[in-house]
Amino acid sequence: MAKIARANLPTLKKTASYYVVHVIVASLVAYAVTGNLMIAITLSLLEPTVQAVAFFCHEKVWERLGKRRAAAEATGATPAAAGA
């Protein structure tokens, strides 16, 4: 697991900073809508946690697509031919 974390450190750092910003914004919005601090905290931790996992996966897909495009360009193939 540590090897995966080291290999993905830039994406994990970006995901963590995104998570913190998202929790703060979600807390403020949830409190403004509900007026209830406990509900706001619960919502602001649940939803961004799911979003952070989705964001990490999204970044990895885009990274993989970028690598495929670069490899296709290096070989002179079209991105569609390389499976992108």
User: What is the Cα–Cα distance from 12 to 74, expressed in whole angstroms?
Assistant: 28
Domain-embedded: residue 38: yes
Answer whether 68's CB lies under 8 Å from 84's CB: yes
Q: Would you say residue 83 lies in a domain?
A: no
Examine residue 82 and state whether it is found in any structural domain, yes or no: no
Block mean pLDDT (10 aa), the chain, length 84: 83 87 90 95 86 87 92 77 54
In a domain, 60, yes or no: yes
pLDDT at 66: 92
Q: State the DSSP code for 58.
A: H
Token pair 């830039």 in the structure block, residue = 10
The span from the CA of 19 to the CA of 69, in Å, is 29
SS3 state at 81? coil
Domain hosting 36: range is: 2-75
Asked whether residue 20 is assigned to any structural domain, the reply reads: yes
Whether 80 is covered by a domain: the verdict is no
